[in-house]
Amino acid sequence: MAERGDWEEGSGRKGTVLYYRGSLKSCNYSCSYCPFGKRKLSQAQLEADKTALFRFVQEMEQNRDFAGGIQIVPYGEALIHPYYWEGLARLSRHPGIQAVGAQSNFSFSAEKMLERYRKRGGIPGKLRLWGTFHPDMVSLEEFLAACRELSRQKILYCVGAVGVPENLALLRRLREELPRRVYLWINRMDGLGREYTLQEAQAFQELDGYFPLQLQTHRAHVRRCRGLFVEADGRVKACNLCRRTIGSLYDGPGELGRLLLQEQREKGCDRRYCSCYLAYCNRIDIEELRPFQPYPAFRIPQYFQEAHEGLFVVK
Ligand code: SF4
Ligand code: SF4
């Protein structure tokens, strides 16, 4: 478990994660509950998203003191766009950045995109991908095929799904078919309109031993959380839930260091609860997150990472 001393103010350190969300608001899927489904972006909007991403990447390249991880958390699907792979590749070459990743629906061509990532000098051993299974959009077999390709290419990833009680049988099959060394998470279903029954909660816990964390209330405590959230235009917030802007990444040299200071982050927390995984995973006082350290943001247990590290050489 990370201790308070692991937080090195002003530069970040092992365990610090910057979250980046571009201006992208579109997806190739059309999940009924999602506002980004099947929204097409114009070429100009895609160019603007690419420009914003590369500006962020360039800024991080210049912040040579930064140490930590970068997680891309798009509104929609980013990894079908080659420029995100270029951005990830460049970030992975930063000596202080230990892990880079993105949330995805895993609909990209792993073969093509990883080739691009490698060609741009991306370090495969630093990649941490997060794949969400959407049973209404893709068959179990298709999703598993994408997972197997990532395993074949020796990429670290986690997969998960929303805990829809009607999908239990399918999710059990997903667990059975997934490689054993892939963690399957289950997220609480927000639109359920009732509490889970005891049996449902137990059934999801059998699939994901950490599911009870999803059912707990995590009262906000900014002094016990780390991480920083960066918008496409450079505005920085304490986390993905907070609305208050504490500065801009592009305000000049040294700005990232200033924003990483605990006193700055404290000004940014305007929520009573860390009410989703991307928020509470940054808390250093949640004992159950210990197996996911130093980067719970990627949701990959450390023992899987260690087991995996022997499989290939990290450049
Ligand atoms: S895959 Fe994700 S981003 Fe795409 S429509 Fe579904 S929920 Fe939205
Ligand atoms: S709401 Fe966000 S900033 Fe506040 S304590 Fe929770 S994760 Fe940290």
Instruction: Please tell me the residue having the least CA distance from ligand 2 atom 7.
Output: 279
For 41, 114, 128, 249, the CA distances from 91, given in Å and listed in that order, are 25, 15, 13, 16
CATH of domain 4-309: 3.20.20
Q: Could you tell me which of 150, 173, 145 has the C-alpha nearest to residue 161?
A: 173
What gap in Å lies between CA 285 and CA 288, rounded to an integer?
Answer: 9
Token pair recorded at residue 101: 């990743």
DSSP 27: B
**Could you tell me the distance, in angstroms and rounded to a whole number, from the CA of residue 225 to the centre of ligand 2?**
6
C-alpha distances out from residue 43 to 49, 74, 81, Å: 10, 18, 12
pLDDT of residue 13: 58
Residues having CB closer than 6 A to ligand 2 are: 220-222, 225, 238-239, 241-242, 269, 271, 274, 279, 282
**pLDDT given at position 306:** 72
Best residue for ligand 2 mutational test, from 18, 243, 270, 274 (most atoms within 8 Å of Cβ)? 274
Q: Output the pLDDT for position 12.
A: 57
pLDDT confidence of residue 315:
29
Ligand 1 pocket test, pick from 24, 134, 137, 189 with the greatest ligand atom count within 8 Å of Cβ, gives 134
DSSP secondary structure of 56-104: HHHHHHH-TT--EEEEE--EE--TTSHHHHHHHHHHHTSTTEEEEEEEE
* pLDDT per residue rounded down to tens, the chain (315 residues): 333 334 445 555 567 899 999 999 999 999 988 999 878 889 999 999 999 999 999 999 999 999 999 999 999 999 999 999 999 999 999 999 999 999 999 999 999 999 999 999 999 999 999 999 999 999 999 999 999 999 999 999 999 999 999 999 999 999 999 998 999 999 999 888 899 999 999 999 999 999 999 999 999 999 999 899 999 999 999 999 999 999 999 999 889 999 998 889 899 999 999 999 999 999 999 999 999 999 999 999 987 777 666 544 332
Give the residue extent of every domain in the chain.
4-309
Q: What are phi and psi of 207, to 5 degrees?
A: -80, -35
Closest-CA residue, ligand 2 atom 2, reads 239
Q: Which tokens hold the place of 212?
A: 């009870």
Phi, psi of 33 (to 5 degrees): -90, 0
Nearest to 100 by CA among 150, 50, 60: 60
